[in-house]
Amino acid sequence: METILTVNHLTKKFGYLTAVNDLSFTIEKGNVYGILGPNGSGKSTTLGIILNVVNRTSGEFSWFDGTTSTHQALKKVGAIIERPNFYPYMTAIQNLKLVCKIKEVPETKIQEKLELVGLWDRRNSKFKTYSLGMKQRLAIASALLNDPEILILDEPTNGLDPQGIHQIREIIKTIAGQGTTILLASHLLDEVEKVCSHVVILRKGVNLYSGPVDSMLASHGFFELRTNNMEQLISLLEKNASFGKLENFNGTLTAYLKEEMDAETLNKMLFEKGIVLSHLVKRKESLEEQFLTLTNNN
């Protein structure tokens, strides 16, 4: 694994308010990370610190292998942390040419990046004629001009209509598919669930969870089961150490797992004991339910 960013015990205080509280996490190359938390939980402050626009109070962060200075490292970072801002009377092409000059990258990259965000057809339109979604997509193209190692986005779909939201999410997935590491801050659970492979959950600046989106909590999911032989099924699962809570409701038994088990294994085991199922579904709690559990218990 190649490390892109290491954050260690980072804390930021604004007067008496602790915006980021002893936060640690690591970003590995090739993954899509979400910093998820309600408004005011410290997401933008965290991004500001690692991008050197907000001073930390204590703790450390280091880019890449730890030997590169932050100043050097940031040349390999593409970030959009504010509303996209370009020259309103200049076209997309003209604006990006300017960015190329500033970033010292060849203008040949412009077409590729505009095509990636679906704006090549609108390349000669003035920035001020763009919708908010198009502006955001232009900002993404701009941030990608120097082929950064990591793309950082703060609430990338805020204020967009459903179509604009969908377009941005698809673009993020495409960029990730090309191997670019992504870190995005969002207060939207479904956004993180749809786009990210990993998540850092913040509440009042405190890290509640960090790890793969799939394995949040120690939850191994649950089965929904139906059979004509409910009593026998229940007594069997009660004796099975892999199962915890059992809920029988309207003829459907919900059986919560305490450890990993797949549906086939359960089906086979029950069949061998003479129980034939008419319904078998394995489910995991949605991220939303898990998120609510996490935030309520802390």
Q: Which of 1, 16, 39, 272 binds ligand ADP (CB under 6 A)?
A: 39
Contact 50, 7 (CB under 8 A): yes
- Using DSSP, state whether 184 is helix, strand or coil: strand
Smallest CA-to-CA distance from 226 within 269, 283, 279 is with: 279
Of the two residues 18 and 267, which places its CB atom closer to Mg ion in the complex?
A: 18
Window of 39-47, 78-86, 125-133, 265-273 that interacts with Mg ion by CB under 5 A? 39-47
Smallest CA-to-CA distance from 41 within 156, 200, 152 is with: 200
Window of 35-43, 99-107, 124-132, 141-149 that interacts with Mg ion by CB under 5 A? 35-43
Asked if 157 interacts with ligand ADP (CB under 6 A), we say no
Of the two residues 41 and 290, which places its CB atom closer to Mg ion in the complex?
A: 41
Q: Which of 21, 41, 180, 290 binds ligand ADP (CB under 6 A)?
A: 41
Contact map string, positions 5 to 24, toward ligand ADP, x by CB under 6 A: ---------x--x-x-----
- For residue 57, how far is the Cα from the chain centroid? 26
Of the two residues 43 and 137, which places its CB atom closer to ligand ADP in the complex?
A: 43
- How far apart are alpha carbons 218 and 253 in whole angstroms? 21
Within the chain, where are the H helices? 43-50, 70-73, 92-103, 109-116, 132-144, 162-177, 189-195, 230-238, 263-272, 287-296
Asked if 40 interacts with ligand ADP (CB under 6 A), we say yes
What residues contact residue 119 under an 8 Å CB cut-off, 6+ apart? Answer: 92, 134, 137, 138, 141
CB of 284 to ligand ADP, least distance (A): 26
Which of the listed partners (ligand ADP, Mg ion, none) does 14 bind, with a CB threshold of 5 to 8 Å by partner kind? ligand ADP
Asked if 203 interacts with ligand ADP (CB under 6 A), we say no
Task: Please report, as ranges, the residues that interact with Mg ion according to CB under 5 A.
Answer: 43-44
Residues that bind ligand ADP (CB under 6 A): 14, 17, 19, 37, 39-45
